A and B are shown apart, each in its own frame.
Chain A
Amino acid sequence: MSDIAVMDQVPDSQEVNAKAESPLFHIGAGINTHKDANSAGVLLQEDKLAGHLLIRGNRDDEAFNIAINNVLGTGLPKTLQCIYVDELSIRWVSPDEWLVICAGDKVYELEKRLRAAVQGHYAIVNVSGGQTLLVLSGDNVRDVLMKSTAYDVDDSNFPVGKVVTSTLAKSQAIICRRNEDVWELVIRRSFADYIWLWLEDASREFGLVVNSK
């Protein structure tokens, strides 16, 4: 056996028809608390079953940066930054921690490529089952966020491309601003139902529509 146990955790769809359930699979599409779906203030979508990979390492180590860059096609984002490149998004989490989100069926291959490229002291952890990505858009997303997190989500403090980990109601989230009016939340699986209930409640006065991917 090798130093690190790496495992493809997604069943081979050719061999078995294993039903996968994302943390919020049950809220599904079609929820609409607004009389006119086009004018709902908040649109919510779960990016289901994506691949989530944590990378740990020393960003001052030039070799580490080059190796990562070679695989991801971009350097690791700096403090509180988020980078979108092709099918990937990379979030700064901590001075030695980044979260890469990719397609669910690409995560094993990505981990292998990273491990092949990077030398020295680092860690890569597949956390795809433990969290999920919510995409929020609409005119009132900022209002909902203001009800939910103490972090300042004003343009002046939260420009596009910024990411922070902060409180979300009595749980927490990695909050990222993808576009002018598109915000993303990475939330833990076990808290997903609570956060869904919270967001549904906080959106009520603006109208909420749930989209499927």
Chain B
Amino acid sequence: MFYIYCPYCEEHREEEEFHVVGQAHIDRPLDPDSLSDAEWAKYLYMRKNTRGLYQEQWLHAIGCRKFFNMTRDTVTYEIKETYKVGEQPTVV
């Protein structure tokens, strides 16, 4: 059970209030129609499975309903930081 700092509520909350969405910082291509099938598949399906620090997107579902990003160590489950959508991680 994680204890997660919501950057919008500005305090720690229990994991049961959150949903994990998936890998963070994957931007929708601006012109999907110009992409080859392979390029599109890369955007749509290819995800990292990092051992160590990993940026992922979460939603404060039972709370402020805001999406945010988290840098988490997938080995120790330590959360290094959480930050708002549009911001960049400071721990990499």
Contact = CB atoms under 8 A, between A and B. Distances in A.
B65 A80 contact: no
A166 B11 contact: no
Interface string A49-79: 0000000000000000000000000000001
B64 A172 contact: no
Contact of A172 (B8, B9, B62, B66): B62
Nearest to B63: A165
Contacts of B16: 150, 167
Interface string A160-204: 000011110000100000000000000000000000000000000
Contacts of B66: 94-95
Given A165-B62, A165-B63, A166-B63, A94 B8 contact: yes
A172 B14 CA distance: 13
Nearest to B1: A150
B14 to A, nearest CB: 4
Interface residues of B, number: 13
Contacts, number: 37
B39 interface: no
Interface in B2-59: 8-11, 13-14, 16-17
Contacts of A108: none
Contact of A167 (B10, B11, B14, B65): B14
Contact of A79 (B10, B14, B17, B65): B10
Contact of B10 (A80, A165, A166): A80
Contacts of B17: 150, 166-167
Main secondary structure of the interface of A (DSSP, over half): strand
A28 to B, nearest CB: 29
Main secondary structure of the interface of B (DSSP, over half): loop
B64 A167 contact: no
Contacts of A151: 13-14
A165 B64 contact: yes
B8 A95 contact: yes
A164 B13 CA distance: 10
A166 B64 contact: no
A43 interface: no
A151 B13 CA distance: 7
A93 interface: yes
* 9 A-B pairs with the lowest CB-CB distances in the bound complex, closest first: A94-B64, A150-B14, A172-B62, A165-B63, A95-B8, A167-B16, A167-B62, A79-B10, A94-B65
Interface of B: 8-11, 13-14, 16-17, 62-66
7 contacts: A80-B10, A94-B63, A97-B64, A150-B16, A151-B14, A164-B9, A164-B63
